[in-house]
Amino acid sequence: MLSPIFFFISQVNFLISISLAILGSGMNVTQNQKERIVELEKEVAELKSSLNIALEENKRGATWFQNIIDTLPNPLFIKNNNSQYTTTNDAFEGLVGVSKEGLVGKTDTDFFSAEEAEVFLRIDSEILTNGGISWNEEKLTRNGETHDLITSKVRVWDGEGNRYLLGLITDITDKESQHVELWQKKDELERERKNNETLLKEVHHRVKNNLQIISSLLSLQMTKFKEVEVHKAFENCKQRILAMANVHEILYKTSNFSNINFSTYVQTLIQNLKNSYNIDKEINFKIDVINIFLNEDIAIPLGMAINEIVINSIKHGRVEGQQLDIYLKLYVNGDTCILEIGDNGKGVGEIKPSEQITFGIELLELFCNQIDANLIQQSQAKGIHYKVSFPKKR
């Protein structure tokens, strides 16, 4: 904006001087010369108007630029080739305690200690001479307070080829204390998380213990009855209670209740069943579970459903002289998780009416409803087979 303005000014002064020289000389002028003078006067008027417009635009542009840099929270300054301040913003004025007008035309030696000014000016000279970008950690002492600063400086050019230095400052004096405070809050949250985790583990551990106590009480109560069917009913209740206790024992050993590795969970569940029924070699398990993580709201009901199906297969599926194979497969199909589980033993038609697992089916449906799952009993040539599907988002 400045170069056109100075060009206009030079033209105006030149034309005015010519007109005044001619008119003031007292010489006789021809008609053509008079007409030319009139034309020059018109051109002078037009140039003056253009000059006023340019000056106004330049003023608005300078104000707009100053308003922009004054909104920056970081101190900003511009120096000329002699390291003299030409422009600063409000943040810089607040940092050094000198008004913008008082800074213009001055150097760092006018405001800072000799030691500080020497460092600032040396870096200025390097950037103005060699270019590039400088990032420096600096200390500035004002009014007895020491500020830790990170100052970035870069060389810029104007339209006439003059070199300038643009600097931007970040005050990090309070950042260290903020960093310490942040770590303290992080440590506090970590302690709270561990306390909650410990509390949840303790809850699962106590639930497991209480379930085992209930199982023992049922064993004591069984001794009062002689009927075989009553003993079977008590035994089935005990087994289901112990299965729930096993689930809570697994959760007690889990480090993250919101992300339970279900593959590991299933392996542990099956191993507990093998140990409970002493069937490590009698029954062959085929487990194919993808590496998926579920929260406890899904893992527990799904684990209980698996537990119920496997126990029923162990109790009712075995055929004399034939090895029982129990399979379990969990995979994802689109937005749905699918669990396929079953055996190659007795089918539903081969199970005696007294051994029908109607109550077990009711439990399965209850567990599946808890996770919005769809339960289907599939028909095949041998064995009993189930398909459980539930939304992946769960």
What does the pLDDT look like over 39-80, one tens digit per residue?
656 665 666 666 666 666 666 656 777 777 788 888 889 999
Split at pLDDT 50, 70, 90, the class of 320 is confident
Question: For residues 394 and 384, what is the distance between their CA atoms, to the nearest angstrom?
Answer: 27
Range of the domain at 57: 2-70
Does the pLDDT value for residue 328 go beyond 90? yes
Short-list 392, 350, 385, CA closest to 364: 385
Calculate mean pLDDT across residues 315-339: 89
Quote the DSSP letter at residue 366: H
Does the pLDDT value for residue 313 go beyond 80? yes
- Count of domains for the chain: 4
Calculate mean pLDDT across residues 176-183: 64
In this structure, the answer to whether residues 168 and 179 fall within a common structural domain is no
Residue that has been written with the tokens 């970081």 in this structure: 74
Does the pLDDT value for residue 124 go beyond 80? yes
In this structure, the answer to whether residues 260 and 376 fall within a common structural domain is yes
In this structure, the answer to whether residues 140 and 30 fall within a common structural domain is no
**pLDDT value at residue 1:** 42
Domain boundary among 204, 222, 253: 253
Contact (Cβ atoms closer than 8 angstroms) between residue 140 and residue 146: yes
Question: For residues 283 and 178, what is the distance between their CA atoms, to the nearest angstrom?
Answer: 62
Domain boundary among 197, 231, 253: 253
**pLDDT value at residue 350:** 52
3-state secondary structure of 5: helix
What does the pLDDT look like over 232-278, one tens digit per residue?
888 778 877 877 787 777 777 776 667 788 888 888 888 888 887 88
Split at pLDDT 50, 70, 90, the class of 31 is low
Domain boundary among 253, 282, 304: 253
In this structure, the answer to whether residues 86 and 166 fall within a common structural domain is yes
In this structure, the answer to whether residues 154 and 197 fall within a common structural domain is no
In this structure, the answer to whether residues 386 and 260 fall within a common structural domain is yes
Residue that has been written with the tokens 């209930």 in this structure: 214
∠ Cα 170 120 152 (to 5°): 35
In this structure, the answer to whether residues 328 and 386 fall within a common structural domain is yes
Task: Kindly report whether the global pTM for this prediction surpasses the value 0.75.
Answer: no
Question: For residues 384 and 244, what is the distance between their CA atoms, to the nearest angstrom?
Answer: 23
Which pairs count as long-range contacts for 255-259, CB under 8 Å and 24+ apart, including other chains? 255/197, 257/197, 257/200, 257/295, 257/296, 258/295, 258/296, 259/293, 259/294, 259/295
In this structure, the answer to whether residues 62 and 86 fall within a common structural domain is no
Could you tell me what percent of the chain has a pLDDT over 90? 13
